[in-house]
Amino acid sequence: MKYSKELIDELNVKAKKLRRYVIESVGVGMAGHMGGSNSSADIVTALYFYKMKYDPKNPKLVDRDRFLLSKGHVGILQYSALADAGFFPVEDLKKTKDLGFHLQGHPDFIKTPGIEAGTGSLGQGLSIGLGMALGLKLDDIKSKVYVLVGDGELNEGQIWEAAMAASNFKSDNLVAIVDHNKMQATGKLVDKMNPGDIVAKWKSFDWNVIEIDGHNMEEILTALDKADEVKDKPTVIIANTIKGKGISFMENVVSFHNGMLNEQTYAQAIKELS
pTM of the full structure: 0.96
Nearest Cα residue to 174 out of 160, 157, 162: 162
Write down the pLDDT at residue 207: 98
Please compute, for residue 259, the number of CA atoms within 13 A of its CA located in the half-sphere on the CB side: 25
Residues in the chain: 274
Residue 72 has what DSSP assignment?
A: G
Q: Domains in the chain, start-ordered, CATH in brackets?
A: 5-272 (3.40.50.970)
Angstrom distance (rounded) from CA 196 to CA 148: 20
Write down the pLDDT at residue 199: 97
pLDDT in tens, the chain (274 residues): 689 999 999 999 999 999 999 999 999 998 999 999 999 999 999 999 999 999 999 999 999 999 999 999 999 999 999 999 999 999 999 999 899 999 998 999 999 999 999 998 999 999 999 999 999 999 999 999 999 999 999 999 999 999 999 999 999 999 999 999 999 989 999 999 999 999 999 999 999 999 999 999 999 999 999 999 999 999 999 999 999 999 999 999 999 999 999 999 999 999 999 9
Amino acid at 224: L
Task: Tell me the three-class secondary structure of 80-135, residue by residue.
Answer: HHHHHHCCCCHHHHHHCCCCCCCCCCCCCCCCCCCCCCCCCCCCCHHHHHHHHHHH
Angstrom distance (rounded) from CA 20 to CA 264: 15
